[in-house]
Amino acid sequence: MITGRFFAAGADRRIAITIFILLAAAIIVPLLNLAVSPASAFYVPSYIVALTGKYLCYALLALALDLVWGYCGILSLGHGAFFALGGYAMGMYLMRQIGSRGVYGNPLLPDFMVFLNYKELPWFWYGFDHFWFAAIMVLAVPGLLAFVFGWFAFRSRVTGVYLSIITQAMTYALLLAFFRNDMGFGGNNGLTDFKDILGFNVQADATRSALFAASAVTLALAVFVTWAIVGSKYGKLLMAVRDAESRTRFLGWRAENVKLFAFTVSAVMAGIAGALYVPQVGIINPGEFEPSNSIEVVVWAAVGGRGTIVGPIIGALLVNAGKSWFTGVLPEFWLFALGGLFVAVTLFLPKGIVGMWDAWRGNARALRAASIAEEAGTDPDVPAPPKIVRSAARTPGEWSTSGPEPQPAE
């Protein structure tokens, strides 16, 4: 049924196009990098492959955040933590692959442990010699953390800003923890100096291209999964919780379970993004836990358009391309630009680029489609998400009459 809906034209055509572009990029970019001679005009330099591969991981992270923020109204300021945890799981696998080729040549311990006088491998490093184990951990660690955290938070109805602040506290606590040398994760230097992944040299062009392709395919898959979740009956529930949590609860749904599911799935997606990110940049350190990183992810999603599936991807690619360009040309103005972007997007572009595009192009058409659907007596498909976005933050009770926030005159 899902696939049938997928191939149906209309509102979901955009998803199909996105997936198609991503899959095409996964094939064409590596080809242009490896098979075309560097002299050719079509040659894609290796650094571009690595850079865009990194952006695709960011896009996946932004999509993960969008699932909870755009569709469920949970503004998580701690998604960077899930990203980094996935990255650390992958980094630990890559560290174990170095074997005795480290600077100290110790066959059992990674370099930093030799340096910090570890006598034996800490228990939590066991198993990371195997890729399958690391892959499970990439999914399990962020997923479990999100599950436990969400279990407590949603059950006791911590909502809105409070939730944002405690997610920020969570990533901050992890930042402090991972900075400690005796945590056994390399302290403030993190994990780096990787050699092999699955027996292939991480530095090699072919591996880079393969990682790029993996990122693109994973992103395409994530787009499909998100679309499937959002489009299902469960997705409607998700949006119901976002728009009117207490009403949903009064109707008999367990809002906390709905949120918990979305939060956990989103954390797992963020973890995968981190795992793909680490071999491409070659390092993972506690800086990834910085609360400011997590907030930056929010602005990617906001720029592209939250509550849409394509929006966060576009936002992540655009903002990061802008960042790369700015830091190269006008390094001291990047923070001005980023800050301005935060303000401008919230003030003038609440629906993001994609939302604006829809509003601009589709107003008349949406009306027409709605009337046709009415005549035909069928339900219009998935309600255009941007329409609901406006009220995303309007969880009733959040500023109900005695609530602390000022309210707009109604």
Tokens 């599950």, located at residue: 147
For residues 71 to 90, the per-residue mask of contacts with other proteins, x marking binding by CB under 8 A and - elsewhere, is ----x---------------
Counting contacts by CB under 8 A, is residue 311 touching other proteins?
no
Counting contacts by CB under 8 A, is residue 332 touching other proteins?
yes
Closest CB 406 distance from other proteins, rounded Å: 5
Based on DSSP, count helices (H) and strands (E) in the chain, helices before strands. Answer: 16, 4
For residues 338 to 357, the per-residue mask of contacts with other proteins, x marking binding by CB under 8 A and - elsewhere, is xxxxxx-xxx--x-------
Tokens 């358009």, located at residue: 305
Counting contacts by CB under 8 A, is residue 159 touching other proteins?
yes
Counting contacts by CB under 8 A, is residue 170 touching other proteins?
yes
Q: Which residues contact 319 (CB under 8 A, 6 or more apart)?
A: 296, 299, 300, 303, 338, 341
Closest CB 72 distance from other proteins, rounded Å: 12
Choice from 26, 65, 153, 265 touching other proteins (CB under 8 A): 153
Counting contacts by CB under 8 A, is residue 152 touching other proteins?
yes
Q: Nearer to other proteins by C-beta: 208 or 351?
A: 351
Q: Nearer to other proteins by C-beta: 40 or 400?
A: 400
Choice from 52, 164, 226, 264 touching other proteins (CB under 8 A): 164
Tell me the window of 36-44, 219-227, 285-293, 352-360 that interacts with other proteins (CB under 8 A).
285-293
Closest CB 126 distance from other proteins, rounded Å: 24
Counting contacts by CB under 8 A, is residue 392 touching other proteins?
yes
Closest CB 396 distance from other proteins, rounded Å: 6
Tell me the window of 19-27, 120-128, 172-180, 264-272 that interacts with other proteins (CB under 8 A).
172-180
Counting contacts by CB under 8 A, is residue 156 touching other proteins?
yes
What gap in Å lies between CA 309 and CA 145, rounded to an integer? 25
User: Which contacts (CB < 8 Å, 24+ apart) does range 108-113 have?
Assistant: 110/186, 110/191, 111/193, 112/186, 112/187, 112/189, 112/191, 113/184
User: Which contacts (CB < 8 Å, 24+ apart) does range 237-244 have?
Assistant: 238/71, 238/72, 238/262, 239/71, 239/72, 239/383, 239/385, 239/388, 241/72, 241/73, 242/71, 242/72, 242/73, 242/388, 242/392, 242/395, 243/73, 243/388, 243/391, 243/392, 243/394, 243/395, 244/395, 244/396
Write out the two tokens for 361: 């192009």
Counting contacts by CB under 8 A, is residue 15 touching other proteins?
no
Closest CB 6 distance from other proteins, rounded Å: 31
What gap in Å lies between CA 28 and CA 32, rounded to an integer? 6
Q: Nearer to other proteins by C-beta: 30 or 355?
A: 355
Closest CB 332 distance from other proteins, rounded Å: 6
Closest CB 177 distance from other proteins, rounded Å: 5
Q: Nearer to other proteins by C-beta: 43 or 147?
A: 147
Write out the two tokens for 305: 């358009």
Counting contacts by CB under 8 A, is residue 278 touching other proteins?
no
Choice from 33, 52, 168, 308 touching other proteins (CB under 8 A): 168
What gap in Å lies between CA 268 and CA 288, rounded to an integer? 16
**What one-letter code names the amino acid at 46?**
S
Q: Nearer to other proteins by C-beta: 68 or 197?
A: 68
Q: Is 201 helix (H, G, I), strand (E, B) or coil?
A: strand
- Dihedral sign for Cα 105, 108, 109, 115, please: negative
With b for 16 or more beta-carbon neighbours within 10 A and e for fewer, the 82-105 pattern comes to bbbbbbbbbbbbbbbbbeeebeee
Tell me the window of 52-60, 319-327, 331-339, 354-362 that interacts with other proteins (CB under 8 A).
331-339
Counting contacts by CB under 8 A, is residue 408 touching other proteins?
yes
Helix 310-329 vs helix 46-69: crossing angle, to nearest 10: 130
Counting contacts by CB under 8 A, is residue 272 touching other proteins?
no
Q: Nearer to other proteins by C-beta: 297 or 317?
A: 297
Summarize as ranges the residues that interact with other proteins (CB under 8 A).
Answer: 75, 149, 152-153, 155-162, 164-166, 168-170, 172-173, 175-177, 179-180, 188, 245-246, 285-287, 290-292, 295, 298-299, 302, 332-333, 335-336, 338-343, 345-347, 350, 392-409
